[in-house]
Amino acid sequence: MVEATTLGARIASGVVVPLIKKLFVADQPGAALVDKPVRISALISFSGEKRSVTPKDVEKVADELVRRALKAAGPHEQPIDPGEALAVRNALAHSLAALGTITIEDFEAVSMGPEGFANLLRSNAGTVIISFGLSASGELFYERLLHTACLHILNFFTRRSTYIARQLTVNTQQLARVVQAIDILLDRLPSQTAEDAAFEDRYATHIAQRHGTLTIYGLDAGTSEWPLDTAYLSLEATRERTGPGGSGLHVPAEQVLAQHDQVLLRGVAGSGKTTLVQWLAVTAASRTYEHGLTHLIGRVPFVLPMRRILRPGAELPIPGDFLKAVACPVAGDQPAGWVDRVLRARRGVLLVDGIDEIAGERRESARRWLRELARTFPGNLWLVTSRPSAVPERWLTAAGFNEVTLSPMARHDVATFVRRWHHAAGADESTGASLLRAVRTTTELNRLATNPLMCGMLCALHRDRNGFLPQDRKSLYEAALSMLLERRDRERGLDDPGGVRIPYATQIQLLQRLAWWLIRNSRSEMDRSDALHIITQALPSLNLSSDAEEIYTSLLLRSGLLREPADGRVDFLHRTFQDYLGSRLAVQELDFDLLLNNADKDEWEDVVLLAIAHARPKEAGQMLRHLVEQGTPRGKLLAAAGLPYAAEVAPAIRSFVEVGVQLLVPPGSSAEAEELARTGGELVLSLLPAAEGLDDRVARLVAHTASGLGSESALHFLTQFREHPSIDVQQTLAASWPHFDRELYAVEILAHLPRQARVTVRDTGDLRALRSIGGWADIQVVGAYRVEDLTELIVRERLTRLNLEASHPVEGLAWLSAFPNLKRVHVASDVGETVAQQVPDRIELITPPPWRV
């Protein structure tokens, strides 16, 4: 017998909607808009003065709903005894008849939601329902049918009513999504026993509780947890396309399983792989349509961290033991054969996290396990995560897996993370704003703030020092290295899955030897054999009993700093740490001539700057003087950038450096402008010429230079260019918005520009900032978005061109008609013919070929 709770979901909306419409009066031709809500009883077709349906007809509607539901169940899975169908019909008709007597208005009903509205109808029907003598199964069947009817009734209100209060827009769209979700469930939900359905409810609750918070490791303020819906950021997954003219393919990380059933996701330490796994699990378990991820509706998530399911001496689990392997507290309640039934019905979402966290000799058995399960249970969704160097390329290709890589955080992601972190930590908003300003204007912070782990470190370090980051770069890197090399795995309770545990100071010594070798030889990576040779040479001076191979394996897998980009090759994951560690050894070895002789090379720039930071005051002063005396623009800029790195600089040396850099402005090209901003810092701002009297080309380059600084002082400097007549200058200013505080930049710069220049928005904050200055004509939307945000926050009359740089939403594109002056829309993904037909003829739609990884 089929579980009664699923019957409502198994009647297609195409069947229910025509029946529901019979209960209501049709709109008359020429019906005008009204400025107040409509009482529901005035819409009912079987009450009032305009009756077109009799109470007997209401019974026929209820009878048809019952008949359709029983038909959908099939002859062998009836939820009630045949003789009870009439009683259910009568109870349902009695409840629907209450529509003619309730006194609430349409917007009140919508705000209640289907469950609340069903309760209202049931209570208005009174105790008469009891007299129908329904069994427990019959009563449950009646309740689910009433809930289904109420869902479509409320959706009908939102579609039909000439008045919908503005504050109910979200309710309207949520109902539409739920209705669409029901139709998706028709194809995905198999017949369930009552036992399976009840257990899945308990299991879904467990998943939400277990994975609904995110743990932040390695913070100076201690390990902490915060809600997943607050912590999660929609990052980007990419894969490089091969072939002539190929370019990287991009998709929001949570959408990778919408593109392919089986995905191997690579990501560096702390890049957000585990957070993505948690988010997918909670989203699937929540059974909602909020995120538009239709591929997750009706599925069951299984979170399988490799470090937990493959302990030393243990075998990989069979499906029936998945929950037991991860010590799930409800594992003992699962019905026999439940996991197999889920997987054979193609409803599973298997999230295998951390292939890199098991010993190397066990990874081959893990690959066989994955391949066998994927072949035995096709059609399920698989996401396997790993650090880039843990497994070779195409490691799971034979098993049908597609490989993608988690991208670094974009600028707006960093800003969102910082704001959320400070909110979750109960810190003052001004502290987060101060950190964001530091990140935007300090090159080394920009280079560090590329993933959630490093951003969390910066936030904690900033707060721990009462709103100030260390004044020297050394302290910042030392804190990060402490977190990566000794604290993170310890706080996670990870039992050295590969390699040996090496003391922190010893790891530093080994890593800086590897780093300095790479720098000296102008290499970005080395042969694995070279790394082993360097470690072997260092062993006699170190208090380690392990051999070079074991030490190398431990550094590779657990440090978070090394990776193997290809078989037999090794490099540093974060180039900035390579430069920091290498420069430290260079100063210890007194290799100053080598540093200065290579100062003209791009790859040595950070090494020289960090060497100035490590050097003693006299050594640092000599390096700065020699850089200026080289007589090259590069040397002078590098000396200017190096001033803040030195702990102590003699006044004569400082003056010598400042005079030298004055000869380099204004810049002669865009590349020089970027170089000037990057290496000169705030010092450059005082050397740039004012806007008055500059020709168009120089004005654009000066504005480009200042915009690269991203500071408040740079924003103030740029205000003198906002009235410049050059289109190139205007576009440069419009494109520079992401570098600055968005609200301030919108008011001080954008509000004074012609609205035809293109601006980029990344979240609702950007949209609100544009709305506050009267809207914009040409908008590019980057990343995930919600239709209601665009339609509510974009000034509709102002918009003429729109670029959507993310997958189109499940709602389609019919909403574009809300913008009366919109002329051209570019969508980054193929939308299909059906969706394309939703776009009004007055709008030119531009789409690329279908996205495929």
pLDDT of residue 38: 47
Residue 358 pLDDT level (bands cut at 50, 70, 90): confident
Indicate if the pLDDT at residue 165 is higher than 70.
no
User: For the residues 616-626, what does the mean pLDDT come to?
Assistant: 93
Structure tokens at 744: 């301030």
* 100 DSSP 8-state letter: G
The predicted-structure confidence for 725-740, as pLDDT tens digits, reads as follows 888 999 899 888 888 8
Indicate if the pLDDT at residue 650 is higher than 80.
yes
Indicate if the pLDDT at residue 314 is higher than 80.
no
What does the alpha-carbon distance between residue 801 and residue 832 come to, in Å, rounded to a whole number? 21
Residue 585 pLDDT level (bands cut at 50, 70, 90): very high
pLDDT of residue 564: 77
Query: Residue 227: which H helix or E strand, with range?
Result: strand 224-227
Q: Give the percent of the chain with pLDDT over 90.
A: 18
Looking at per-residue pLDDT, the higher value among 150 and 173 belongs to 150
What does the alpha-carbon distance between residue 439 and residue 455 come to, in Å, rounded to a whole number? 10
Indicate if the pLDDT at residue 248 is higher than 50.
no
Say what the pTM is.
0.50
110: CB partners within 8 A, 6+ apart: 154, 157, 158, 164, 168, 171, 172, 175
User: For the residues 310-339, what does the mean pLDDT come to?
Assistant: 87
Number of separate helices (H) and strands (E) present in the chain:
38, 17
Rounded (5°) CA angle 735-739-740: 110
The predicted-structure confidence for 377-435, as pLDDT tens digits, reads as follows 999 999 999 877 667 888 888 888 988 888 777 767 788 788 877 776 777 778 888 88
Residue in the block written with tokens 């003087």:
625
Whether the bond into 666 is cis, omega within 30 of 0: yes
The predicted-structure confidence for 793-851, as pLDDT tens digits, reads as follows 999 999 999 988 765 554 578 888 889 999 999 887 667 777 778 888 899 888 765 43
Q: Which residues pair with 572 in a beta bridge?
A: 562
- Map out the domains of the chain with their CATH numbers: 4-189 (no CATH), 200-406 (3.40.50.300), 468-589 (no CATH), 755-853 (3.40.50)
pLDDT of residue 51: 47
Instruction: Mark out the alpha helices in 426-527 (DSSP H runs).
Output: 429-441, 443-448, 452-464, 473-482, 488-492, 504-520
Each residue of 808-820: b (16+ CB within 10 Å) or e? Answer: bbbbbbebbeebe
Closest CA to 388 of 407, 372, 371: 407
User: For the residues 711-718, what does the mean pLDDT come to?
Assistant: 83
User: For the residues 492-505, what does the mean pLDDT come to?
Assistant: 63
The predicted-structure confidence for 48-83, as pLDDT tens digits, reads as follows 444 444 567 778 888 888 887 887 766 666 777 777
Closest CA to 526 of 569, 486, 558, 560: 569
pLDDT of residue 34: 39
User: For the residues 587-602, what does the mean pLDDT come to?
Assistant: 88
| 196-200, 398-402, 739-743: segment of lowest average pLDDT | 739-743
pLDDT of residue 686: 66
pLDDT of residue 337: 92
pLDDT of residue 81: 78
Indicate if the pLDDT at residue 277 is higher than 60.
yes
